[in-house]
Structure 1
Amino acid sequence: MTLTRLPTRRIGSLTVGAQGLGCLGMSEFYGATVETESIATIRRALDLGATLLDTADVYGHGAGEELVGRAVAGRRERAIVATKFGVVRPGPGVGAAVRGDARYVRRSCEASLRRLGVDHIDLFYLTRVDTEVGVEETVGAMAELAAAGKIREIGLCEAGPDTLRRAHAVAPIAALQTEWSLWSRDIEHRVVGTCRELGIALVPYSPLGRGFLSGAIRSPEQLEEGDFRRFGLPRFTPDNLPRNLALADRLVELAGELRVTAAQLALAWLHHRGPDVIPIPGTRHRAHLEENVDAAFLSLTRADLAAVEAAVPPDEVYGERWNEQSMRFVDR
């Protein structure tokens, strides 16, 4: 484990570590959680310079934000707190609808501030684009929150090029959070170029393919009963997961040759995509956090990168990255 703090990157006016920490699994979705270890992991992340902490109002129906708030108490000046709103989630699923109207924007911000126990949110994201409300209305309301000092920067999630341009014309968009990993590369066709043209940082979520690219997941039976990968993600079904294992096996083999872990190699590949890329791998454990942070210090040659991409060709991935309902909310 390196003792060197992470180098920094820029998201609008914010200075963040080159790698952040996704906090989704600390409240639900990936099985049983231990709050003390989750809080210790967040605090260790801050020590290592992984200062961008990512949560959302729907994680644990608010419990995720409350946990992050407890973890950063007394350390607020070191943390860049990012949270998301917009998904309407009345029950146990991943969400039933999306809202981006101005009234909902304001109400969501106030609720998140209260749960986090902070006086401002550093990076406030719209989780998914509301197709019934113009993005101009949503971003206009977010800009008002920024002017009032309640948020510092505006972000969008899973937004396509046209939406990004419309939003950016209303107020500067600092970051786009979207899925990007070796087995989810569709944003490379148009989205990445648009972000770079507009100066929008890229924040990839699920950069380890929800754990698959680590090589540790061999069958759906390994996943706990409450793990949403068992019911919400086609790539983990009994039909698709066995066929996808060849990808993980090739990555594990290559990582062994390079004397790193498969997870580190997958993250290092993303870091080499550009200085405007800040991955946010999620974990609830300090040991995994430290393994992931070390990936930001790996130097890969062109031949190494080519070998990584050859090991996990996107056209050999079986299954969509979200189920059909969830994909309806992805704006491309």
Structure 2
Amino acid sequence: MYLLQDPSATPDSEDAWAGIFSRPSPREWPLQRALDFFAQHQVYDILLKQPEAKGAWSFTEKQSKTSDRRNVNIAAAITGWISGEPIPHLATAWLPGLDSEWALEQTVSNISETFEHYLAWTVGALVNLVNLRLEETEAEIRLPTTAGWHLRHGVDSPQALALLNAGVTSRRLAHQIGRTAAERGIAAEDLRAWLTGLHLAGWRDQFAATEYEINDLLEYVRKRRPSLIGALLDTGHVSLDVLVTSAAPAQPIVVQLRPDLGPDPATLVVDDGSHIRALVPADAHLDVHTIIDSGIDFETTLAGGRITLALPRVR
């Protein structure tokens, strides 16, 4: 190939290199377009006929070995799954007329075996193989490299996928945050900063986040830094910026840290005894809460937009 030749021996080498670097980067198909393509060309049916499928995507009318089989269109089912539909709703849509408990049990089992495992693996492998071939032919398109992960998690946006891959466990919450972020033009890599700014009240108001979902988000936005409680014990004091809600004092004043009124987990507030002066940022909530729960005796002061936690002086 001319790329392996001595450029000085190639009369038009500059033009050749210019042509290479001027080529547009390959563009990925949108996820739904790729899934529609798979459905149109019976990709799912072919994959489910492979020996490795081992009975994946199998439904019956009744809970017995001799029961008649129920056919469920897998392409339509995948569309519903990645669109964020709750599993009970999927059970009703996939298996109308069946006993609700049996329909739900089969839906959960088939999601786990077929979507979260078999198809997530095989579709992911197929996409990689196809993209390698497209690269060899210098095609200008690629299949979405995360298609297998979307099938595994049942979401349709890269933002939702980022949340689930980072440890958020609620598919409902990830899907809702993902959709909202996509509508507002917030990229996956900017989710932490955006969610930190919304704070706990915003998570409840905008996403109806439950207690365990808020705990997941607190861990997700948690700022990666040296342990605050470790720094407090080692040096005797630790400081951090807070979200000031009223006029910030120029000189340090004694305040206390406490949970605000409302459902758990509650926002941690900085209180001067008469009113709330500031809020602990969401990305520091867990670290500050750990110090409060530890039972360590400390004093808190506020100056400007910063609090300082200090151990009592030994007299």
* TM-score relative to the length of structure 2: 0.22
Larger Rg: 2
Q: Which structure would you say has the larger RCO, counting Cα contacts within 8 Å and 6 or more residues apart?
A: 1
Whichever structure has more helix as a proportion of its residues is: 2
